[in-house]
Amino acid sequence: MRRLTALLLASTAVAMAAPAQAEPLRIGIIESLSGSQTSTGRLYSAAVQYGVDIINAAGGFNGEPIEVIEYDNAGGSTGAADEFRQAVADGIHIVFQGASSAVAGQITEDVRRHNIRNPGDEVMYINLGAEAMSLTGDQCHFYHFRYATTAPMRVNALVNAMAAAGELGTRVFSINQNYSWGQDMQTAIEDAAAAGGYEVVEAVLHDVNSIQDFAPYVARINAADPDTVITGNWSNDLLLLMRAASEAGLDVRFGTTFLDQPGNIANAGDTAIGHYLANNYVPDAGPAEFNDAYRDAVGHYPIFVEPPTIFAVGALAEALEQVDFGGGDIDVSAIALALEAVVYESPVGPITVRAEDHQTIRPVVVSHVVRGAAYPVDDTDLGFEVVGVVSGEDAIYPVQDSCEMERPD
């Protein structure tokens, strides 16, 4: 079976003649391409296009190059709903999205309703980074696949690694965004307290991407005197939190889930040294060939949300190898069934899809910030050094009782 990592090293494209009746596979990226989450949305889009370019260079699918169309949801659920309707009108077969669980909740429901109303003309949603538990809980359905971790996967790996290193302490401050993902993070932090041997000295939920000055929150952290701050913040909320912590000279270790977002290390400066990150991948965890290939194509090493996106498109590429529509109509259900069976060998270990809820079972990489890193970030000499990789089997949790997935006939 051809692997995406092998395709990365291919030096020649394989030409494929396209029959006149061939229907191209159409992918829609419904992302935050304007507004406060633009930087994240653009990274998702670039990584999807990178993976699709590799598939197309190897011959495309169904006798045609795969088509990719971008749709700007402007960072909101209303925009996502509007763009999904346009994507359906454009004949999109697969939707990719990752920035914001709130947006994901809108898209997955729109996909579910569309598929109920249009049997035989289904759309599949590949979720690249929206990690709210509800998406594979009471909102689960057959045509939603989550190629990302979740709060308990990240928090448990983070707590175990920090405790093993003697760098967790016994007092933890929890600060998160007040929506589904942040609430899941707060719950996971509280649930891990007994095993981690700490107490949560204060838990804060704040508005999402609307706070311009985190100095008051940093003051609360300082007053609570924690050993560690654990946060699931991302986008501007993490950038500004790091900046405020640096400006205040806050002397406390952070355990994070999105510290590798571009700009965070530059904002934090030397105060970031020793901070922890639990995510899907950092370049220090993988082979130079994988990292260099992405850098050569895009201009930087794979970071933040890009690696899991590359892995998701790689898994899709392997699923497409298992179906053959002979240049005829695209059968999205057949692609979904093939994707369920894929075992994708990522640079950090196998990634599979759990059939009961379509949550990926995947490794979690724990790293910390060091000076003189092999892969420095943000034009600094700081970067992420791997502390450990938790296997997918050790990271995963049971299927949620609220998921009642109906499969196609």
For residue 128, name the pLDDT band (cuts at 50, 70, 90).
very high
Task: Count CA atoms within 13 Å of residue 338 on its CB side.
Answer: 16
pLDDT of residue 21: 61
Q: Which residue has the tokens 């006939």?
A: 409
What's 137's DSSP letter?
Answer: T
The two tokens of residue 73 are 């949801």
Residue 11 pLDDT > 80, yes or no?
no
Phi, psi dihedral angles at 96 (to 5 degrees): -110, 140
Three-state secondary structure call for residue 253? strand
Q: What span, in angstroms and rounded, lies between the C-alpha atoms of 94 and 232?
A: 28
Q: What span, in angstroms and rounded, lies between the C-alpha atoms of 52 and 320?
A: 12
Q: Where do runs of H (alpha helix) occur along 150-302?
A: 151-164, 180-191, 193-196, 215-224, 236-248, 264-268, 288-298
What mean pLDDT, rounded, does the chain reach? 92
Q: pTM of the full predicted structure?
A: 0.90
The tens digit of pLDDT for each residue in 148-166 reads 999 999 999 999 999 999 9
Domains of the chain, first to last? 4-149+284-361 (3.40.50.2300), 151-279+363-395 (3.40.50.2300)
pLDDT, average across residues 350-378: 97
Q: How many CB atoms lie within 10 A of CB 234?
A: 27
For residue 20, name the pLDDT band (cuts at 50, 70, 90).
low
* Higher pLDDT, residue 37 or 253: 253
Residue 229 pLDDT > 80, yes or no?
yes
Q: Which residue has the tokens 């196998």?
A: 350
Beta bridge partners of 350: 345
The two tokens of residue 104 are 């994901």
Residue 132 pLDDT > 60, yes or no?
yes
pLDDT of residue 346: 97
For residue 242, name the pLDDT band (cuts at 50, 70, 90).
confident
Q: What span, in angstroms and rounded, lies between the C-alpha atoms of 372 and 269?
A: 13
* Higher pLDDT, residue 50 or 76: 50
pLDDT of residue 366: 98
Three-state secondary structure call for residue 8? helix
Q: Between β-strands 360-361 and 364-371, what pairing exists: parallel, antiparallel or unpaired? A: unpaired
Q: How many CB atoms lie within 10 A of CB 96?
A: 29
Q: What span, in angstroms and rounded, lies between the C-alpha atoms of 241 and 213?
A: 8
pLDDT, average across residues 202-227: 95
